[in-house]
Each structure stands twice: as structure tokens, then as C-alpha cells.
Structure 1
Amino acid sequence: MIPALAADGLLAAGILALALGCVATRRAFASAALFIAYGLLLALAWARLDAPDVALTEASIGAGLSGVLLLGGVRRLEGLAEPSPDAETGPLLTILIGIGCAALTVAIGAAVLLLPDPTPSLAPQVAANLATTDLGNPVTAVLMSFRALDTLLESAVVLLAVVCVWALTPEGGWGGVAGLRQPVVRDGPLALLARVLPPLGIVIAIHILWVGADAPGGKFQAAAVLAAMWLMPWMAGLAPAPRIDARWLRLVLAAGPALFILIGLGGALAEGAFLAYPPGWAKPLILAIEIVLTASIAVALALLVMGPPEPPR
């Protein structure tokens, strides 16, 4: 018992130290690296809290793809002029930001501590109806059945984020290849991993997607792994990025949310409620949505990291 408490204490202290380091450091690269380590420790914390689904999501998206996105942003900022001293945050604004953060912390703590006892919850009703989904993983059942509208909106937000990134395309770059052209890396760890890792990663992603119906895993985690397997050879210059006006690319991006909406409308016609699944059809319909959404989310995450097309130089 005592060693477990000591390990949890060290984990919590590490998370707080990395969070402070992310904010306090003045170097962009160091801040991004600390953020990746912070996400990995958070994944361990979620695992300690017996939330493997959240731990997988945090490790793959929170630390993995988000870290790559931040490192890509740091790379794009290299060579830009340093901000002038006049543009730096003054002490008054720093104090006001600190007060605002402290007030937000107190408000969130009060909201948690002042909850009535017993806390209002729909967990008993959800648990009583989980069997109707035929899914063994309660997290997937909740996200795809009882909170299906939230999941649909999340997939739509990812698609909208890609559209917003494409909207930042400079003049003369529209319709071109996503992101900057990467130099070919023929030797070193990146070149080796870009050639060896993708086949293994694709198999792991398919496994995570398939077992997500009955065990920890699912579409978002699998999509993050697939996106990483695409980004690795792209960063090594071995696989070209797609043109953003490619028809297949837009079809894959829109297929997941479109199928989700169509099945939701079918539920409205058959059962009288949007996103309601007919009896006996819940699991196959959910699996169909998960499979198509995985491809859409994977492509969207990769395109977010690649960034908008650049005009030819």
C-alpha cells in the first residue's frame, strides 16, 4: 500500500513539475518537449485510475499527435524575427492573467467540492441498458449510443479544423500539396523507422479498432496510430503529401461524419429518435460507423499536422 502511494505521489509531483515547466520555459522547443512528457505522465495517471481508454487516448493524441503538431509549429517559427520588447507581456497583464487562472481554479474546485451528496448521476440507467448495444466495452457503448450526438459533433469538429487549416493557405498555394515539402532522409533513425514501423503500426491500429467493441480501444486511438504511420514516412520525405483538391481525399474526410448522420436519420425514421439504433442492429451499425470514422479521423489528423499547402518556390 505504501509503495503504491509513494509511486502515485511521485507521479503527481512529476505531472505538476512538467506542467509548470511548459509554462515557465522561454524556449518553444523545450516547451513542446515538456508537453509531450507531460502527456505521457498523464496517460500513466489515467492508467493508475483504471481508465485504460482515456490513457490510450491521452498517449496517442494528447502526447503523440499533439506533440508532433507543436514540434511542427516550432519548426515553422524558426528563422522568424524575435518579438520586440514592446510586444512582451507587461507585469500588470501577467498579474491579471495569474489572478484569472487562480479564480478559474477556485471555481472548478468549488464546483467539484460543493456537489450534492449523493451526486446526481444517470449511471444506473445507463448500466441497466448497456446490454442492448451488444458491446462489451462500456466506454464505446456510452460514446456511440448514449452520447452518440457528442461523438458525432467531435468528428465534425475535426473535419472543420481541417477546413480552417486549409483556409490559411497562402495566395498561389490553393489546390497544392499539403504542408511543406520534406527533404528525403536516407539514413538515421527516422529513415529506418519510416520504412519498418508503418506495417506494424497499421496492424496495431486495426487491432485497437476491432477490440474497441469489447475492450479498451476504439476509433480515435486507432486513427491516431494510423495518422502517425502516415506522417512518419512523410516527415522522412519517403511519401508525398496529397493534394488538397484530390477527390478521394475529400471523400474520405467526409465519409465518417456523413455515414454517422445517415445512420442517425435512419434511426429517426425507424425508431422515432435521431441516432437511435433498431433492436438487434446496434452493434453492426456502431462497428460500421467506427470503421469509416477511423479512416476519416486518421486522414484529418495527418492533414492537421501537415498544415496548409505552400505556394511553389
Structure 2
Amino acid sequence: MTAAFDIILCLLILGTAGIALFVRDALAAIAFFIAFGNLLGLAWLGLDAVNVALAEIALGAGVTGVLLILARARLLALGDDATCADTSAWLRAGALAACAGFVLLLAAAVLSIPAESGLDRAVAPLMPGLGIENRVTGVLLAFRAYDTLLESFVLLGALVAVWSLAPAGVWPGRPADLGMADGPMRRVAGSFGRFLLPVALVMATYLVWAGSDVPGGAFQAGTVLAGGLMVSAIGGAIGLPRSDLPGLRVALVLGPLVFLLIGLAGTGFGGFLVYPQGLAKAAILAIEYSLALSIGATLALLVAGPNVIGPAGPAGGAGRNSGC
């Protein structure tokens, strides 16, 4: 990238961030937040951090953007006008000073890192034994696999915590209907969702397969899959399933369970999460594909929130979100 492009990109990032923070209308703030996330993804691409760029665009802008849109819709349904109240100049000045101090502290920490530091020289010689070339995948699934395994269980635990917020009388049931109440908008979103979901499935499959050797992997694939599911649900192309559906529960626990079982099997080859010689790539791909499915289903249900329709409840509108 040229210096001029980098400067323009930085100004756009700062500008969209500022508008998202200070604009009064919630929908405008959400729109600029999504634009901010996409611009950040472009910046990460410019730094050759493709894995981070994929995660930022899919999760930071895509999934989080949908979550904010749904949150605004529910506020409107509750009678909140979803506009920002006036804040004092002192409060704004204090927030600006705190943010500026954090930026300076972060910049000082980054600039103090020696250019020759890092784990690349330690990781590179170990990669041939895994049969893959993507060092990010190697670190996440082999050299710090304990962390990744625990993170998969933390994500599942977060969904259980959200489900626990549902009143006892509506369990088990479905999450709130995410479909738009506006007829024409719902039809447009539904048509787009029916097109997007198969594309998301194919893209997620490719991201896992390619993630062994080039940027990609389970987390990026899972967020793409979650985005396709949520857009389809917003348009009414699909309905979110009941929480007691056996297939859903299998999808949710499949990733962590396969990861744990392969890790336990490694004890026969030298230790927990040690992959057998010649089978490391196959084991990593099995973990990645199962994790992608679990991450996609979990993220979509986290955005949908706790259940609102009990077993004896109506089949439709009790949980409709009428604010979209």
C-alpha cells in the first residue's frame, strides 16, 4: 500500500470511529461501527495479518453489527427511542483524556518491542512435523492447544449462561424470533438470506480446509457460518431451533468434545494433545471442522439470546421481535 492510501485509511478509521461514538441516532452509530470494523479489517490486511483481518470483518463488524441491530430493535419494542442523552462537557473531556492516555500507553508498549523479538524462529522449525504451513493454526492447535481447548469450553459456557437467564416456565423453547416485522424488508432479507446461507457454508468449509496452509481456520469459518445463520433468521428464511433439539446439542458440543477426545488420545503418543507422527494434519482438520460447526451455532444462539417460548407456548409470535 502507498503512503497516501495508508494516511487516507487511517483518517477514515478515526472518522468513522468518532462518528460512531458521538452521533445521537443509534442506527447511524451502528452503521458507522460496522464501517469502522470493515476498515479495520482492511488495515490488518495491509499489515499482512490476514487471520486477524478475517476475524475482525466477520466477528467485529458482521456478528457484532447484527447483535447491535437486534439490541436496538428490542429497545424500540420496549418503548425506548434509542437515542443518546446529553452528556456534560466535563464527562466528554474526561473520556477523551482517558482514551488518549490509553493510546499513548499502548503506542509506547508496541514501540518498545524489539524488531527481532517474537516466536517465529521458535515455531518455524516445528511446523514440518505437523504437516501444515499456516503458523497461526500451528500455534493455536498444537503449541498452545491447551488455551484453544479451554476457549472452546468458555464459549459453550457463555451460551449456557445466556440460556440460564430464561424463566423456568419457557424452558425448553426457542429464542426470540429475529425476523423483521416490516414486510418488504423481511422479504428482501429473506431472499438474501436464502442465497447467503449456502455461500456461507461453502466459504466456511473452504476456510477450514485452507487454514492448514494459508490464513483461515475454525474461528473465522465459525463466524462466517454464524453470520449466514443470523442474516437468514432476520429475513425469516430459517427459524432458530428449540434448545432441546438433539441435533442442536450435538452441534454445540461437537467441537469441544472432539478436541478433548483427540487430546486424550494423544496421551498414548507422549502426552495430552500430542499428535501422532504422520496423523497431525488429519487430527487438526478434524478438530477445526468440528470447532467451526460448534462456533457457528454457538455464536448465532448467543446473539439470539435466552429462550422465550415454552413447550406449551404458541408456535409463532410469542417471541417476535417487533422492533426491526
1:47-62 alignment runs, 5 A limit: 47-62=45-60
Give the aligned partner of residue 219 of structure 2.
220
Query: 2 CA distance for matches of 1:245 and 1:88?
Result: 45
Q: What per-residue deviation string (whole Å, max 9, x for no partner) do you get for residues 88-122 of structure 1?
A: 7555554444443333223222222333x465433
CA change 1:203–1:118 in 2 (3 A) is closer
Query: 2 CA distance for matches of 1:214 and 1:118?
Result: 25
- Asked if the contact 2:188–2:235 (Cα under 8 Å) also holds between the matched residues in 1, the reply is no
Give the aligned partner of residue 268 of structure 1.
267
Alignment length (residue pairs):
308
Q: What per-residue deviation string (whole Å, max 9, x for no partner) do you get for residues 237-278 of structure 1?
A: 232211112232222211211221222222234213x32222
Give the aligned partner of residue 145 of structure 2.
148
Q: Which runs of 5+ in 2 are unaligned?
A: 319-324
CA change 1:122–1:204 in 2 (3 A) is closer
Classify the secondary structure of the residue corresponding to 1:172.
helix
Once the two structures are TM-superposed, the CA of residue 62 in structure 1 deviates from its matched residue by 1.4
CA change 1:216–1:258 in 2 (3 A) is same
Give the aligned partner of residue 157 of structure 2.
160
The answer to whether residue 252 in structure 2 is matched with residue 253 in structure 1 is: yes
Give the aligned partner of residue 27 of structure 2.
29
Give the aligned partner of residue 321 of structure 2.
none
Give the aligned partner of residue 101 of structure 1.
99
Once the two structures are TM-superposed, the CA of residue 302 in structure 1 deviates from its matched residue by 1.0
Once the two structures are TM-superposed, the CA of residue 32 in structure 1 deviates from its matched residue by 1.2
Once the two structures are TM-superposed, the CA of residue 201 in structure 1 deviates from its matched residue by 2.7
Once the two structures are TM-superposed, the CA of residue 9 in structure 1 deviates from its matched residue by 0.7
CA change 1:35–1:81 in 2 (3 A) is closer
1:176-191 alignment runs, 5 A limit: 176-180=173-177, 182=179, 188-191=187-190
CA change 1:291–1:150 in 2 (3 A) is same
TM-score, reference length from structure 2? 0.85
AA partner of residue 299 (structure 2): L
Give the aligned partner of residue 205 of structure 1.
204
Query: 1 CA distance for matches of 2:243 and 2:291?
Result: 19
Query: 2 CA distance for matches of 1:261 and 1:236?
Result: 36
Give the aligned partner of residue 289 of structure 2.
291
AA partner of residue 247 (structure 2): W
The answer to whether residue 127 in structure 2 is matched with residue 127 in structure 1 is: no
Give the aligned partner of residue 68 of structure 1.
66
The farther-off stretch of 212-221 and 39-48 is: 212-221
Query: 1 CA distance for matches of 2:117 and 2:52?
Result: 23
Q: What per-residue deviation string (whole Å, max 9, x for no partner) do you get for residues 176-209 of structure 1?
A: 1122363685774313212333223322221222
Give the aligned partner of residue 172 of structure 1.
169
Q: Which runs of 5+ in 1 are unaligned?
A: none
The farther-off stretch of 212-221 and 292-301 is: 212-221
Query: 2 CA distance for matches of 1:19 and 1:136?
Result: 36
Give the aligned partner of residue 17 of structure 1.
15
CA change 1:130–1:173 in 2 (3 A) is same
AA partner of residue 51 (structure 1): A
AA partner of residue 140 (structure 1): T
Give the aligned partner of residue 39 of structure 2.
41
Query: 2 CA distance for matches of 1:43 and 1:82?
Result: 31
The farther-off stretch of 126-135 and 101-110 is: 101-110
The farther-off stretch of 91-100 and 153-162 is: 91-100
- Asked if the contact 2:218–2:292 (Cα under 8 Å) also holds between the matched residues in 1, the reply is yes
Give me the identity figure in percent. 42
TM-score, reference length from structure 1? 0.88
Once the two structures are TM-superposed, the CA of residue 39 in structure 1 deviates from its matched residue by 0.8
Once the two structures are TM-superposed, the CA of residue 304 in structure 1 deviates from its matched residue by 1.4
Q: What per-residue deviation string (whole Å, max 9, x for no partner) do you get for residues 129-168 of structure 1?
A: 1111100222212221112222223222221221222122
Query: 2 CA distance for matches of 1:179 and 1:269?
Result: 46
- Asked if the contact 1:56–1:217 (Cα under 8 Å) also holds between the matched residues in 2, the reply is yes
- Asked if the contact 2:37–2:57 (Cα under 8 Å) also holds between the matched residues in 1, the reply is yes
- Asked if the contact 1:180–1:309 (Cα under 8 Å) also holds between the matched residues in 2, the reply is no
Once the two structures are TM-superposed, the CA of residue 82 in structure 1 deviates from its matched residue by 5.9
Give the aligned partner of residue 113 of structure 1.
111
